[in-house]
Amino acid sequence: MKTCDFLIIGGGIIGLTLAREWLRRHPKSKVVVLEKEANSVAHGTGRNSGVVHSGIYYAEGSLRARLCVSGSQKMLDYVDDHQLWIDRCGKLLVPPTESSLGSMDVLLERGVANGVEIHKVTGQEAMELEPRVNAQFDQALYVPITSVVNPKEVAERVRKDVVGSGGVIHYSTPALAIGSRRGTVQTSMGTFEAGAVINAAGLFADQVAARAGLKTQYSFQPFKGKYWKHTDPEFVMQRLVYPVPDLNLPFLGVHTAHNQAGDVYFGPSSTPVIGRENYQGLQGVTLRDGLSLSASLIWKFLKNTNGLRTLSMREMKLMRLEGVCDELSKIVTGVEPKNLARSLAKVGIRSQIFDAKTQHLVNDFVVVPDERIIHILNAISPAFTASFAFAEYILDTYQQ
């Protein structure tokens, strides 16, 4: 039996920031992170857009709003303190259709309520901020604080902090079972016994919770996010450009993204899939998940739960490059099918859960403590942005 004070299942950004925060508070204690992959960036942490979100989308008072707003500032400070790459580019939200104009005021109100600097600008002002913007309705929202970082670089820096402070990260070591005795977790390396255990297993958090005996009203519903790359190296974007989203649908819509190398991407899509790590073809689809997710998807599609039927129609359009360009042309100019290439490497899956009681996709982060483990469920976007604040919140709330 191996012993430690604090054990974290999952070594993505949530697990890493938790380990770092615990070691800051208890420098002499023994912290262990179990990660089933050979590194920390195989899933959500290494496959996101790298956007440090501001917090304008989320309902006032929600965990997502609070942790995004405080987390973005902590992320920006961390990146500055460690001299990591950042583009403080700001973000424009452009109405893609006439019917989305009303949502601009809702977002403006939410942004102000959440304490985020946000401005309504004219089409001319939007074009001065980003010449490639399509300002067809002569108005846009501008959020100066939104930035882009390199999520793999951030995760690597946090990993070094953890290891440098004496934390131990066991890669290629999945948590196989949760013991019935408090704080015990079985792995291929043997059994660990910890004073406290946190489940930060991302796409598998619900399964780890189920293995620990937790019964909830939640089920898992993964959504794949594909990206397309602009192939012309001369095509650069000075700002992020997002559509004003349809507030009846769960995702933000296809937007621009750029990285440290200056590559411009568009995405991510939001395709419901039947596997947790289903990045390509049938990769990551198990018989059990495949059957249960297919059945629940058909049901949700028929009932149009959370606008899933509408969303699926939009996703079908994105199967053709012409359809992707058509969506993008509502917010940016100069994107043609001949300049677009589907990115096979850049594809991520959202660890989204569904609530059987409300019959809705869950719109907030969910933390469920039980007698033995604290489970972090639904670490959806912007959990990367929020991660430093999320770690502080978990330890403040559950580990006094």
Ligand X SMILES: Cc1cc2nc3c(=O)[nH]c(=O)nc-3n(C[C@H](O)[C@H](O)[C@H](O)COP(=O)(O)OP(=O)(O)OC[C@H]3O[C@@H](n4cnc5c(N)ncnc54)[C@H](O)[C@@H]3O)c2cc1C
Q: Which is nearer to ligand X, 135 or 315 (CB)?
A: 315
Are the C-beta atoms of 272 and 257 separated by less than 8 Å? no
| CB-facing half-sphere around the CA of 303: CA atoms within 13 A | 9
CB of 227 to ligand X, least distance (A): 8
Q: Which is nearer to ligand X, 49 or 221 (CB)?
A: 49
Residue owning tokens 């925060």: 21
CB of 146 to ligand X, least distance (A): 10
CB of 374 to ligand X, least distance (A): 13
Q: Which is nearer to ligand X, 186 or 339 (CB)?
A: 186
φ, ψ dihedrals at 71, nearest 5°: -65, -35
Q: Which is nearer to ligand X, 15 or 272 (CB)?
A: 15
Could you list the residues that contact ligand X (CB under 6 A)? Answer: 9-15, 34-37, 42-45, 47-51, 53, 174-175, 200-204, 208, 225, 268, 348-350, 379-385
CB of 353 to ligand X, least distance (A): 12
CB of 79 to ligand X, least distance (A): 13
Are the C-beta atoms of 227 and 265 separated by less than 8 Å? yes
Instruction: Name the DSSP class of 249.
Output: S
Q: Which of 317, 1, 388 is nearest to 157 (CA)?
A: 388
CB of 101 to ligand X, least distance (A): 25
Distance between CA atoms of 214 and 364, rounded to whole angstroms? 19
DSSP string, 29-86: S-EEEE-SSSSS-SSGGGSS--EE--S-SSPTT-HHHHHHHHHHHHHHHHHHHTT--E
- CA quadruple 206, 301, 310, 275: dihedral sign: positive
Instruction: Name the DSSP class of 348.
Output: E
CB of 14 to ligand X, least distance (A): 4
Q: Which is nearer to ligand X, 33 or 135 (CB)?
A: 33
CB of 174 to ligand X, least distance (A): 4
Q: Which of 341, 345, 308, 306 is nearest to 324 (CA)?
A: 341
For residue 227, the SS3 value is: strand
CB of 99 to ligand X, least distance (A): 25
Tokens linked to 210: 């189920």
Q: Check whether the bond before 233 is cis (ω within 30° of 0).
A: no
φ, ψ dihedrals at 258, nearest 5°: -140, 160
Q: Which is nearer to ligand X, 14 or 107 (CB)?
A: 14
Q: Which is nearer to ligand X, 135 or 244 (CB)?
A: 244
CB of 102 to ligand X, least distance (A): 25
CB of 10 to ligand X, least distance (A): 3
Q: Which is nearer to ligand X, 332 or 377 (CB)?
A: 377
Distance between CA atoms of 47 and 269, rounded to whole angstroms? 13
Q: Which is nearer to ligand X, 7 or 135 (CB)?
A: 7
Q: Which is nearer to ligand X, 14 or 162 (CB)?
A: 14
Q: Which is nearer to ligand X, 6 or 384 (CB)?
A: 384
Those residues whose C-beta lies under 8 Å from the C-beta of residue 201, and which sit 6 or more positions away, are 9, 10, 175, 207, 208
For residue 314, the SS3 value is: helix
Are the C-beta atoms of 200 and 376 separated by less than 8 Å? yes
**Residue nearest ligand X, Cβ-based:** 12
Residue owning tokens 């450009």: 241
